[in-house]
Amino acid sequence: MSTSSKPDWGSSYRLIAADKWKAKSAAMGRDVTQALVDYAAPNAYMKVLDLASGTGEPAISLASRVGPGGQVTALDLSAELLEIAAERARERKLTNLVIKQANANDLPFPDNSFDLVTSRFGVMFLETKALREALRVLKPGARACFLAWGPFEQPFWSSMMGVVHKHAGGQRTAPGQDPCRYGQPGSLSAALREAGFQKIEEETKTLPWTWPGPAEEVWEQAQAMSTPFLPMIKRIPAEKWEQVNREVLESVGRYGEDGSIKFGAVVVLASGTKTCG
């Protein structure tokens, strides 16, 4: 795809991009994934459920951590993205990762099934019902650990979707689709409390978030993978696209260093515990 002409977003666009950029996307997300895995502190032999796994993280990293005696279930609505996750697990010779296509609002597991529930950049799109379901399938005393985007006003978002919004106007995303909905400190804690979690903790961190390539690549990847912003992007008239594209690349280019784009990411880590049976 040429970033200088307005792309034709089809139904398979995200899947193609996910496969095309899986290695570089994984490299960009490595520090964030590691932060969530460290925060969750999984032990060997744990049974873990990872919600909204997409192409496989942090499920794959968790599977490596819990060892062959444990098991990680990677759950997502998209069977196609989960197949990428399964392929990545096979490449790493992981035999303890199970993929499951299902809706997080209606988890197909009995009560008290898991020692740990996780989600990286997925909790922002989960309803309260899904959080209650996560609580239901946790064993008493077990934790759910989530990582969400911080505020929109940070380099990764403002340099690309912020520029588009300046030209498009209107709402950035549809209601319930804002990846930065928990950017306000305490808001994710409040959602976990409403769902019934106890012993809630929350912290904000700034972590490395580096695209190992030029601005044109990360802009292409962002258009494909930042689905909540797609309606806003589509509002840009074709005749304005070249100008928007030029401004985005100039904005992203400010973070360029040594052939990479070093954004940094402000993220929210939060956890809650199931304290009763």
- What pLDDT digit, counting tens, does each position of 13-46 carry? 556 666 777 789 889 999 999 999 999 999 999 9
For residues 160, 163, 169, 170, the Cα torsion angle rounded to the nearest 10 degrees is 30
Distance CA 107, CA 91 (A): 28
What is residue 235's predicted lDDT score, i.e. its pLDDT?
92
Region of 47 please: left (phi>0), alpha (psi -120 to 50) or beta: beta
Up-side HSE of residue 113: CA atoms within 13 Å toward CB? 16
Which CATH superfamily hosts domain 13-273?
Vaccinia Virus protein VP39 (3.40.50.150)
Distance CA 243, CA 251 (A): 12
For the chain, residues with pLDDT lower than 50 are 1-2, 4, 9-11
Q: What is the DSSP letter of 209?
A: -
- Residue 216, classified by CB atoms within 10 Å of its CB into exposed (0-12), middle (13-18) or buried (19+), is middle
Domain boundaries, the chain: 13-273
- What pLDDT digit, counting tens, does each position of 222-240 carry? 988 788 898 999 999 999 9
Coil, helix or strand at residue 237:
coil
Cis peptide before 214 (omega within 30 of 0): no
Residue with tokens 């994934």: 33
- Provide the whole-model pTM: 0.91
